[in-house]
Structure 1
Amino acid sequence: MKKVFSVLALSLISFASISQTWSLDKAHSNVSFTITHMMISEVDGKFKSFDAKMTSANADFSDAKFEFSAEVASISTGNDMRDGHLQGADYFDAAKFATMTFKSTSVKKVKGQTYTIVGNLTLHGVTKPLTLTATLKGPVENPRSKKMMMGITATGTVNRVAFGVGTSGPSLGDDVTIKVSGEFTKD
């Protein structure tokens, strides 16, 4: 039994030592969204306050774990009145549900730089599965810091009504495209 425990402990230590953490460079990153308005035009917005991280032991990132979060009250569509309405109880209810989070459950390399990231999105107190299509670029060495860095752009579609964000109707589309673009530096 001691031998089994020792092997297990060494395996975990070995995994921890080769697992790499990548931190977000917020100055070169964003979390944005697009929704259809009146079934004829698209309105874009973003979240000003967000964070993300990635860990991976494999060089091809096939075992990566991605997480991102955004503070709902930081929503910005370029219109203060609309932003206030979106933060209110009719939509995001930011006072009650302050954060949107995503945690991956699997990552699959599709081809080249294209990956599928499957995980759980929690929004408005509801958690549902979300599949993101991602492009990973890099890693490359930063010429100034000499640290390794990489870029990730991931997109997916969320049915906002399924999360309890507003109601279905002719003024806003039910589906929202989410786009997370991040520049990450290896810790």
Structure 2
Amino acid sequence: MSNKTNWSIDNAHSEIAFKVKHMMISTVTGHFEDFKATAKTDGDNFDNVEFAFSAKTASINTKNKDRDTHLKSDDFFNSEKFPEMTFVSKSFDGDKLIGDLTIRDVTKEITLDAELNGVAVDPYGQTKAGFEIRGEVNRKDFNLTWNAVTEAGSIVVSDKVKLVVDVQFTKQS
């Protein structure tokens, strides 16, 4: 068994965001402010990288306090009972990242588009690796089922949630 190279997320250069349609006419973007992630590779080769990610659901920020409070409630994440959401990868082929996403008490396999932007050494001699990860999940699959309908019959919150993840990892010595 070869020795794995460990990488840890560089929070200052990483962003975990989601986008959801609001009333089918505008898009609301939110971020998780408190998250961590690790990657394990064979050297600097990211084929079959093993990712592990977690975010504190109470760290959600959509730049609207009332909405954030609602998202932390049992209508959505129930941050008190389920403080973390997690993702553990199963495979990465350079294009598709497959793994188990757990939100609340539901774990489902999802497939994300993932691209390794490259590996580079920064001015301080640290080796960095950057990824762009995109995908879409149906929030109802994870028991985030709250909804309301406007007078005109529009659904207030779309079931489809786009994930927009830009992460940079630092190689651990």
Q: TM-score, normalised by structure 1?
A: 0.85
Residue in structure 1 matching 2:144, options 155, 165, 177: 165
Residue in structure 2 matching 1:120, options 88, 91, 100: 100
Specify which structure has the higher proportion of strand.
2
Bigger Rg over Cα? 1
* Distance across 1 between alignment mates of 2:10 and 2:64: 27
Residue 134 (str. 1) matches residue 134 (str. 2): no
Q: For structure 2, which runs of at least 5 residues remain unmatched after alignment?
A: 149-154
- Encode CA deviations 1:136-183: one digit per residue, 9 max, x unaligned: 122111122x12111111111110011101235511100101122111
* Distance across 2 between alignment mates of 1:163 and 1:153: 23
In the alignment, residue 125 of structure 1 is paired with which amino acid?
Answer: D
Match of 1:67? Answer: 52
Higher relative contact order (CA 8 A, sep 6+): 2
Match of 2:19? Answer: 34
* Distance across 2 between alignment mates of 1:88 and 1:167: 10
Runs of 4 or more, structure 1, over 3 Å off, are none
Instruction: Give the root-mean-square deviation of aligned CA atoms.
Output: 1.3
Match of 2:130? Answer: 151
Percentage identity across paired residues of the two chains: 39
Q: TM-score, normalised by structure 2?
A: 0.91
SS in 1 for 2:87: strand
Match of 2:152? Answer: none
Q: For structure 1, which runs of at least 5 residues remain unmatched after alignment?
A: 1-11, 110-114
SS in 2 for 1:82: helix
SS in 2 for 1:27: helix
* Distance across 2 between alignment mates of 1:105 and 1:68: 12
Residue 54 (str. 1) matches residue 39 (str. 2): yes
Residue 96 (str. 1) matches residue 81 (str. 2): yes
SS in 1 for 2:47: coil
